A and B are shown apart, each in its own frame.
Chain A
Amino acid sequence: MITRTEATAGVAAAVRASRATGIGPVALASSMLIVVAAFAVMMGASTIPPLTTLAIILDRLPFMTLAVDAPVGWQRIVLEVRLPRVLTAGLAGAALAYSGATYQGVFRNPLADPFLLGVASGAALGAAIAIMTPLDAGPYGFGWVPLFAFGGAALAVVIAYSAAHVGLARSNTSLILAGVAVSSVAGAVTSFIMLNGGERVLAIFAFLFGSFNTANWERAVLAIPYLAVGTAVIAIHGRLLNVLQLDEEQAAQLGVNVARTKLVLLAAASLVAATAVAMAGVIGFVGLVVPHLVRLLFGVDYRRVLPLSALIGASFLIGADVLSRTLLRPQEVPVGIVTAVIGGPFFLYVMRTRRIGGGL
């Protein structure tokens, strides 16, 4: 049925498609991430010369021995404070944008974000309980708050997903409504705890707006396996996310088990988002806006939208964190406030200048 010339045309089309989905934008976004991360490590309350900062870091890489002439205090600041902080911000930004892209793809809804099924409100309630309960030393020395936040997020999503089971299928609408219901219950309980929280309210409040000022290596390293599993599962479903952009009947007629694919994707995306929230608190906006921005600039193929969302989400949150710790130095502005104040107008600008097909 296929002739030689048609096969040649097919190869040409394959080359064309690989160029279209190719590494250009990814290379660009990766370079941007490296620049932003390097800049972020050089910025901080103490003025350490930028080149010294870089030398301190490069010296720690294998096979690199630089004669670094820097005080031990500087080394500690760079290696134990700034580096884990930048790493955590990057991981959280990548995770939020990646899971946000997945949620928007599954729900075919531009208003979906990774907190749609209750990840944020569940995590906040878990964190509030951990903060109010006098559990001082947590396991591995990084405190109980992340663990409780992660547990609360997971529980909220499981409850919302189970409650959305109406008849034979979970429709997108019933999932969203169940998420709203679970979020409002968890939010109400969190508010009640805060009203009776005394001086610990400030700690809960800080969690609600997100912060990286307690970032450390242990927490960042512990998060990596969860993020790796979740993103790997989503990554191999990239093409199926494209199929899901059609209506669900078409997806089924193309041989996709829609219910199972949605369950797997939502579980993986919720795992990734819950890990990010456990690391850094509730940081809004990144998961909603970055995937949009990527689709507006680079098109709707999820095999490209997913990695680009992660890279740009990481750069965005690292940059926002730099602003959060330098704008009102020495006081820190909660990073969630920075992401909203910077991200909102920027997104409106991009939306107005790149109006393509009217669709998001």
Chain B
Amino acid sequence: MTTLIDVPLLRVTAIRAALGSREVLRDVTLDVASGEVVGLLGPNGAGKSTFLRAVTALIPLTAGSVEVFGATLANLDRRALARGVAVVQQLPEAPPEMSVEDLVLLGRTPHLGLLGRESARDFAVTSEAMRRAGCEDLASRPLGTLSGGQRRRVFIARALAQEPRLLLLDEPTANLDVQAQYETFELLRALAADGVGVLVVVHDMTLAAAYCDRLVLLADGRVVASGPPAAVVTVDIIRSVYGNNVTVLAHPGTAFPIVVPVMVEEPHD
């Protein structure tokens, strides 16, 4: 890695973006440095997915700036961007007949030459990515035969095959069982330990607080709070965004914040 220590992998400064006539992002500022996992929180419609699309140049900015690896986003071509930044979408499409290995190999696309022929190294990186994401035993399976959790791992493997320095994930744990959720975040922590910067959109605040170094809470396109988990997941801040029927407890062992509903009436039987 040749990253300069003080230059963040991703530096987003006061960006605005609109979908049609509706402004979806308003003055959003956010940094992701090498080796950290940053959680992006917020209610549905807060602008989290739009944020990921804006910082990967899929939609235009109306104001502000995005710098990736110290270069302005507008000056990076798609291929160069894809060699350093990988995205795991929420519900990515792919042909059900395509094999897992073929899909993960597509992660090598930005690294290949004009004729698109994969080298032995491309296959080696692909195998390693599948091993890391825990799907090497699925290599020859068609995508259409996978469970939801397996499918998530396969798309994370494809992102890893890009050999990214910055990894962006949109709700990678949605619809996963609790064990699979922990495994996903353990993987993100391990990647960060290797120097990758991780930005992950997540709804589960307890999970986010347990695994992320910093959290950024978006509401209505604005940053409401930003900082270490204990400073963001507080009763006052969470209620201001999600309403009064949530509260925050402290984990008995680690003091991590735990978000739970307020039980007004007696609990269900």
Contacts and interface: CB of A to CB of B under 8 A. Distances in A.
B93 A252 contact: no
A13 B142 contact: no
B58 A245 contact: no
Nearest to A9: B127
Given A1-B128, A239-B116, 19 more contacts: A6-B128, A10-B120, A14-B119, A17-B101, A239-B109, A240-B109, A243-B109, A245-B98, A249-B53, A249-B89, A250-B92, A250-B94, A254-B110, A256-B78, A256-B79, A256-B109, A299-B97, A357-B145, A358-B144
Q: What 10 pairs between A and B have smallest CB-CB spacing?
A: A10-B124, A255-B82, A239-B116, A255-B110, A255-B79, A10-B123, A357-B144, A357-B96, A13-B123, A254-B109
B23 interface: no
A73 interface: no
B224 interface: no
A253 B56 contact: yes
Chain B interface residue bracket vs A: 35 or more
A295 B142 CA distance: 14
6 contacts: A10-B120, A236-B114, A242-B106, A249-B89, A250-B87, A295-B97
Interface string A237-280: 01110110111011011111100000000000000000000000
A71 interface: no
B121 interface: yes
B124 A7 contact: yes
A254 B107 contact: yes
A104 B114 CA distance: 22
A10 B106 CA distance: 15
A254 B162 contact: yes
A6 B124 CA distance: 6
Nearest to A247: B93
A2 B118 contact: no
B112 A300 contact: no
A250 B158 CA distance: 11
Contacts, number: 117
A256 B123 CA distance: 20
Q: Which of B85, B105, B116, B145 neighbours the largest number of chain A CB atoms within 10 Å of its CB?
A: B116
A339 B56 CA distance: 47
A301 B162 contact: no
B50 to A, nearest CB: 12
B253 interface: no
A238 B109 CA distance: 12
A326 B229 CA distance: 80
Interface in B72-103: 78-83, 85-87, 89, 92-98, 101-102
A249 B101 CA distance: 20
Contacts of A245: 94-95, 98
B115 interface: yes
Given A254-B82, A255-B78, A13 B97 contact: no
Interface in B40-69: 53, 56, 58
Contacts of A250: 87, 89, 92-94
B118 A14 contact: yes
A78 to B, nearest CB: 40
Nearest to B91: A247
A11 interface: yes
B97 A238 contact: no
Nearest to B78: A255
Contact of B97 (A249, A253, A356): A356
Interface string B106-139: 1101101011101111111111100000000001
Interface in A170-219: none
Contacts of B120: 7, 10-11, 14
A359 interface: yes
A299 B121 CA distance: 25
Interface in A59-73: none
Contacts of B81: 255
B125 A2 contact: yes
B124 A359 contact: no
Nearest to A249: B58
A246 B96 CA distance: 11
A236 B115 contact: yes
Nearest to A299: B97
A242 to B, nearest CB: 7
B94 to A, nearest CB: 5
Interface in B120-173: 120-128, 139, 142, 144-145, 162
Interface in A309-360: 356-359
Contacts of B144: 357-359
A240 B116 contact: yes
Nearest to A14: B123
B86 A11 contact: no
A255 B109 contact: yes
B36 to A, nearest CB: 20
Contacts of B94: 245-246, 250
Contacts of B162: 254
A253 B82 contact: yes
